[in-house]
Structure 1
Amino acid sequence: MRARTLKISILRGLAVYLCVALIFGGIIGPAWGQSLTWRMPKINPGLVRAAALASGLNSLDTVRIPRVENLGDFLRPSRDARMAAIQLGKALFWDMQAGSDGQACASCHFHAGADNRARNQLSPGLKNVNPALQGIFDVTASGGGGPDYLLKEGDFPFHQLQDPEENNFNDRVVLFDTDDVASSMGVFAANFVGITPGDPDDLGISFVDPIFNLDNPAALNIGRNVRRVEPRNTPTVINAVFNHSNFWDGRAHNLFNGVSVIGPLDPNAKIWVADEWGNLSQVTVRIPNSSLASQAVGPPTSNLEMSFFDRPFPLIGRKLLSLKPLGLQKVHPKDSVLGLLASHRDTGLNTSYKNLIKQAFRPKYWNSTNLIPGGFTLMEANFTLFFGLAVQMFETTLVSDKAPFDLFMKGHNSALSRDQLHGLLVFLNQGARGNPPAVDVAIRQAEGALGKKIGAGNCISCHGGPEFTDAAFTSLRDGPDLELIEIEDTTVLDGGLLAVSDVQGLLDNGFSNIGVRPNANDLGRGGIEGGFPLSFTRQMLNPALNFLLEGVLDEFPCTPGVDCPAQLLVDGAFKIPGLRNVELTGPYFHNGGQATLSQVVEFYDRQGDFGDLNIAFLDRNMVFIDLEDIDEEPLVEFLLSLTDERVRQEQAPFDHPQLFVPNGGTFDEEEDFIEVPAVGARGRLAAGLDPLGTFLNLEHTD
């Protein structure tokens, strides 16, 4: 543990305060024994606000939604068409009929845009680079674990030290470690056979799941199957519209190709278009700033999330086009988007998916009597295009810009408490890396008021901008261009402690390796999709892959083969998450290995868990973290100020239809389900419901 030294004592601060009060006649009058009121010196909110602005923070309502320049090529040119697209997107996102066996997109994003379930949420190292180590469940810290296990407080964090704050890697004593991931359950294992129009359940042939089965590793009985679980923790969809790319590894490409997740990494992806006579042809499309559309079309065909194995997307379209939208679920009559379409005495909507598509999209993408090869209609064949763009249009409305922090940045000095102001300065303080002058001024004033030194959280180095993530457009923008590849100093170990090296490396901006897990557990941004590297850096360095960067990167930060650093910092790097509403979106990190924000802060205080193993790839910003014990709780308190109460109360635009999410159980027994009640624009309070809580209902402060 680092020595904690208070440079300014509380007594000295009090003495200074009393002297000032004496000079200005503040407290000593003719009768010393009269009523004496002493007020703690205040942290100056104006100076803190100036420090935040100088560091690039601001209210989120100062940020524009990224513009999709060619959206008009696909949507009809009217306000009604845009509204129809949003209605279509919200219905598709929440519809349980979209999955093979009742899974909606929202099944993993129903709680503040994320997932707070605790049962059957463990996934056993499916991203390990060694196939022999995939699919092996570990015993948890409390002695449980395995398929259908109910996580508990004692299972966290997933990496436990004898001294949780020990930052010398040579002196650490590890008490517990697991490569299991806390994530989200999806479908039961089955091979897709087909659909029956009008039936929400797909036809499939179930098989014994060798991993997600209560008898793992000796699974023989289909009836002992449990739902399959994704290999990474579920991020929130709220404010995701501001990200240049989505998913933890960024594979949801900024350029939507109309068909699949990975944009230009899928060069064969084409949509169908009808000419004025109804003749059909295939075309390649690139729709910029549409990572949310790319992301949306992934889960419906994922055999870990919503789909039986090998289900084609056009058949998802055929099924949904034959069904009443949200036909299994109630829709609140005051739903901010779907209320006017709600079947008030029944489930679902008083419209069809076919009608919503026709209202929203130009006819050339759906209007033809000709069939494409395979016997699909044009509307069925282009269902990925409609699904992706419509869900993106809906998720574009999910912006939480009314947190206490936003009020504070608008001039409301009382919006943040004294502890939260203190925590904000810890967040901004970059320590030895150096601060903007306004930050140093605010820190000096606050240290005088607190009578203690303010530690360096250095959080701002990765969680910048009003979105609180360097993966967002605000932080990536360099003038008119985007700085998607960056040259950075690297990190070394010096006597077991992290230090900055004079060697430089290349990284994908907005992605960071902070030593959550060894790189071999999950390569993250260093992975491969569609036979191509995900990393822009690797695409740049290989001239044969430069075509993947057309329309993505205008210029390179160095000349490959001439002056580019040899070291790459992409393996084990993950997209830096935004911090808004982080109070409600636990567990944390890509492995879901921390249950509370206090555990997250302890992780950073010790400068990560696997910085020694990942040293050649580690983000240098971990070096500059130097927290004091007294700073940790205020930092957590500041993070709580990023919660928009509309999210906690599910008020518009965060209201939603009814949903039933699985909560454990096996294939041959009655599953447990949680009902997520339909909520209208006025939110949970108006519906007589408690506000959203934290993961496992845990307190974030000790």
Structure 2
Amino acid sequence: MAIVLPFLGLTTVQAAEPPPSVAPLDVAAMPPPGPSPQDYQRYVKNRDWLVVLGKALFWDSAVGSDGQACASCHFHAGADPRTVNQLNPGIAGGDDRFGGIEPASAVGRTAGGRTAGPNLALQPDDFPFHRLRDSRNRNSEILYDTNDVVSSQGVFDGLFMGIRQTVRLRGRKRDFCRAADDTIFTINVLGQQRKVRKVEPRNTPTTINAAYFFRNFWDGRANNVFNGVNPFGRRAFVDPAAGIVTAPSAGSMAIERVQLENASLASQAVGPPNSSFEMACANRTFADIGRKLLGRIPLADQKIAATDSVFGNGSRLGNLVRRTGAGLRLTYLELVKNAFQQRLWGEAGTWAVAPDGAVSASTTGHSQAELNFSLFFGLAIDAYERTLISDQSRFDSGNLSGQEQHGLALFTGRAKCVNCHNGPLFSSAAVPPRQPLELIENMVMGVGGNALYDGGFYNIGVRPVLEDLGVGGKDPWGNPLSFTRQYVDRPADPTGRPDFFQIDFAQPGSPDGIRVAVDGAFKTPSLRNVALTAPYFHNGGERSLTDVVRFYNRGGNRRDLATGDTTGTGPLGQGTTSGSSVVGSNLDPDIQPLGLEEGDIEDLVAFLKALTDDRVACHQAPFDHPELIVSNGSLSLPASGGRARDARLRLLAVGREGYPRAWCDPGTGDLFDRNLIGGMLQRAP
């Protein structure tokens, strides 16, 4: 049953829906949704050049403050296979201590008994993060439990001070950052305390097929509407300076609001570049990034394969690679001019934007192109990621073995996977089946009764809800991320709220007293190429697909109410609903013991492996890319400046043909059952 929320007025409709199903992905018949051509052409002049710009920005290590590219966390199957310095202590829940929290004797340790902390090299016996004496019984004795998260290492802690030119980098501009006092991501190196790279608070989701999601990020904060400056859509318009700068008349500049629907990828793209965990020293802006990059050769120090599908021989725009084999023939500014309308970059002079949104000429300001760099970045990354569509698995071709066919029958039958992982993308958060008008749904809860929730976002009982609210959280202005809470909490007088949310409050409806089940709920990920993207769940707490299926088979990690957790707020409870008198779990009703035998589990995993696209496993076009240096923890060597020295890996440049078969990911669905280092990943000095 869906609550349908047309943008021009709020109505409640009960409708019989067909049972969920899965199907091959036909990109020609179902391309990723995007902005209307009329809206898009206000900004974009040439899509081919936009893709070139987007791929360059995605892979260029000069974008980040410490050599971090977008691809640094998304370089294999759109995700991150590293196992060294990938542990976060549970910062999303306010914890800065590494290691287990249950039982007490495990405090500070991994499940394998090692000291948990920064720069840890994870081992197979460190998983799962919630370990039971009987993995088939969620109420059995807890042997180990931790709120730590496996994610991706990003930047060192620091405070952005400006852009400087350096002789060492042949006059190129770079970020200048002042060291910060990081007390969490610090290790002892030869008797001295040294900082290591910070690790993000949630596991890294894949960018492949992300173009089909109505919202992005685990908590959905990457809004469907791109506002040109940050991930939060229309809600950001409470800030009068939230917009791009254009010239309403000659010699003057003003803020222009951007509202591009079906551009969640662009909303997502503009989040990480200024995140002090992911890619930047604190307080950096997009205008700073523009100042650093616009005069720069893209990928200047990174090798590019001669057969790169976007940059190389035979690409749509011909060979764009310099004769040296590294970098492109054009600067970033030239790419911007080729891709975007002149009104976005063509005004001379430098300008400053005041907090009240006033734009004035300023000798210490930024150029128009620098001020609009967030728009360029978001739409360029959006255009590139729209090319990263995986639709050539054995499931798509209908070439399944008998074991895999039985796994598919279980998937769509008594294993109940299809209830959340449905449609061609194997996700109810994708479009389709998540249509724009079905933003909120009504569901029978796991502990009885009905509740409203955001369609495609579910609480599946991985961790206690109070550790991470997911879509139940808030934006920087204190507004709910959840569409459900926007609906239920709207004011009695709908004119009293600015029209900057996703839904329209024009017709009041009657939500009073309706239970809300959004806390602890996360976006349902696609299962395409899932065998390549271990570890699993928003906390990265399961190392293998087999363990994931065992998790579902026992009915998740939440203890039954009979064990004494009657409020849902205990150590392993899944939280309470807020804004309602109803107390209990937000657990999805399908998370219950399934009764699968070991043979069933093996067959279900075999089917999940059949969702792998060999082009993704081997980095063939459109998943080919330039060279990239990624950090892989820190070395026990002398270091200066308060930072430990990076251990580094070199991801080799590859063209449309992909890597040799021997280097491809075998797709076993196990974080540790692969050997990428020595093939596509080489140890770098």
* TM-score bucket of the superposed structures, by smaller chain: 0.7 to 0.9
- Mapped partners of 2:588, 2:124: distance in 1: 29
Deviations 1:159-190 (A, max 9, x none): 010100114x3xx2111111000000000111
Q: Which amino acid aligns with 2:422?
A: G
* Distance (Å, rounded) in 2 between the aligned partners of 1:124 and 1:54: 37
Report the CA distance between 1:553 and its aligned residue.
Answer: 3.4
Number of equivalences? 589
1:638 maps to 607
Residues 571, 617 of structure 1: 8 Å contact kept: yes
Change (3 A) 1:696 1:629: closer
The residue that corresponds to 2:482 in the other structure is 535
The residue identity in structure 2 corresponding to 1:284 is R
- 3-state SS in 2 of match to 1:201: strand
State whether residues 263 and 286 of structure 1, in contact with CA within 8 Å, keep that contact through their aligned partners in structure 2.
yes
1:353-372 Cα distance to aligned partner (Å, 9 max, x none): 10111011111111101322
Query: Which of 546, 551, 554 is 1:603 aligned to?
Result: 551
Give the secondary structure class of the aligned counterpart of 2:164.
Answer: coil
2:474 corresponds to which letter in structure 1? I
Tell me how far apart the structure 1 counterparts of residues 47 and 470 of structure 2 sit (CA, whole Å). 35
Choose which of 338, 343, 355 in structure 2 pairs with 1:359: 338
Deviation at 1:101, TM superposition (A): 1.1
SS in 2 for 1:202: strand
Q: Deviations over 1:509-552 (max 9, x none)?
A: 11000010001111111111122111111111122497577673
Match of 1:64 in 2: 31
Greater shift, 540-549 or 306-315, is seen at: 540-549
Output aligned runs, 1:424-463, within 5 Å: 424-429=408-413, 456-463=414-421
How far apart are 1:630 and its partner, in Å? 2.4
The amino acid that maps onto 1:318 is R
After superposition, the C-alpha distances for 1:25-77 in whole angstroms (9 at most, x for unaligned) are xxxxxxxxxxxxxxxxxxxxxxxxxxx9972423343422103112111111x
- Residues 673-692 of structure 1: pairs in structure 2 closer than 5 A: 673-685=648-660, 689-691=663-665
**Residue 113 of structure 1 aligns with which residue?**
78
Cα 1:346–1:476, aligned 2, differ >3 Å: closer, same or farther?
closer
**SS of match in other structure, 1:475:** coil
Task: Tell me how large the CA RMSD over aligned residues is.
Answer: 2.4
- Mapping for residues 447-596 of structure 1, pairs under 5 Å: 456-477=414-435, 481-492=436-447, 501=448, 503-530=449-476, 531-544=478-491, 552-553=502-503, 562-563=510-511, 566-596=514-544
TM-aligned CA deviation for residue 622 of structure 1? 1.4
1:622 counterpart residue number: 591
Residue by residue over 1:556-597, the C-alpha shift from the partner in whole angstroms, topping out at 9 and shown as x without a partner, is: 9x965x355532110000010000000000100000000100
Match of 1:18 in 2: none
Deviation at residue 554 of structure 1 after TM alignment: 6.1
**CA separation in 1, counterparts of 2:284 and 2:21?**
47
In structure 1, the partner of 2:633 is 664
Q: Is the 8 A contact 1:117 1:695 kept in 2?
A: no
Amino acid across the alignment from 1:333: A
Deviation per residue, 1:464-515 (Å, 9 max, x gap): 10000001010112xxx520101111122xxxxxxxx1x1101011100001
The correspondence of residues 225-304 of structure 1 with structure 2, limited to 5 A, is 225-267=195-237, 268=239, 269-275=242-248, 277-304=250-277
Show the counterpart of 2:285: 312
CA distance in 2: counterparts of 1:696 and 1:576, whole angstroms: 20
**Letter of the 1:485 counterpart:** I
Change (3 A) 1:469 1:624: farther
Question: What corresponds to 2:130 in structure 1?
Answer: 159
- Letter in structure 2 aligned against 1:58: P
User: Kindly tell me: are residues 389 and 311 of structure 1, through their superposed partners in 2, closer, same or farther at Cα, counting changes over 3 Å?
Assistant: same
1:208: Cα distance to partner?
2.9
Query: Cα–Cα, structure 1 residues 527 and 472, in superposed 2: closer, same or farther, change >3 Å?
Result: same
In structure 1, give the amino acid aligned to 2:607. Answer: F
Q: Is the 8 A contact 2:666 2:674 kept in 1?
A: no
Provide the secondary structure at the position in 1 that maps to 2:41: helix
Q: Does the 8 Å CA contact 1:290/1:392 hold for their aligned counterparts?
A: yes
Sort the Cα spacing of 1:134 and 1:264 in 2 relative to 1 into closer, same or farther, 3 A. farther
Aligned residue for 1:683, secondary structure, equals: coil
The offset of 1:603, in angstroms, is: 0.3
Deviation at 1:143, TM superposition (A): 1.4
User: TM-score normalised to the size of structure 1?
Assistant: 0.80
> SS in structure 2 opposite 1:487?
strand
Q: How does 1:311-330 map to 2 (within 5 A)?
A: 311-330=284-303
The amino acid that maps onto 2:537 is F
Aligned match of 1:89 in 54, 70, 79?
54
Cα 1:238–1:641 change in 2 (3 A) is same
Question: Shift of the alpha carbon at 1:261?
Answer: 1.1
> Secondary structure at 1:663's aligned position in 2?
strand
Match of 2:404 in 1: 420
Give ranges in structure 2 of 5+ residues lacking alignment: 1-17, 100-107, 166-170, 313-318, 353-363, 561-572, 575-583, 636-641, 676-685
Displacement of 1:644 after TM fit? 0.4
**Equivalent residue, structure 2, for 1:372:** 351
Structure 1 residue identity aligned to 2:90: G
Is 2:118 aligned against 1:143? no
**Gapped regions of structure 1 (runs ≥ 5):** 1-51, 409-414, 430-455, 493-500
1:332 positional shift: 1.0
Asked whether the 8 Å contact 1:486–1:507 carries over to 2, the reply is: yes
The alignment status of 1:194 with 2:162, answered yes or no, reads yes
Aligned counterparts of 1:508 and 1:691: Cα–Cα separation in 2: 35
Query: 1:271 deviation in Å?
Result: 1.0
Verify: 1:384 aligned to 2:374, yes or no: yes
- Cα 1:191–1:550 shift into 2, 3 Å: closer
> What is the DSSP-based 3-state SS (H/G/I as helix, E as strand, rest coil) of the residue aligned with 2:540?
coil
* Maintained 8 Å contact 1:275/1:364: no
Q: Is the 8 A contact 1:611 1:618 kept in 2?
A: no
CA contact (8 A) 1:163 1:173 kept: yes
* Alpha-carbon contact 2:152-2:203 (below 8 Å) kept: yes
**C-alpha deviation, 1:379, in angstroms:** 0.1
Where 2:278 maps in the other structure, the secondary structure is: coil
Does the residue aligned with 1:324 lie in a helix, a strand or coil?
coil
Q: Determine the C-alpha separation between the residues in 2 that align with 1:53 and 1:196.
A: 59
- Which amino acid in the other structure matches residue 503 of structure 2? L
- Distance in structure 2 (CA, Å) of the matches to 1:71 and 1:54: 33
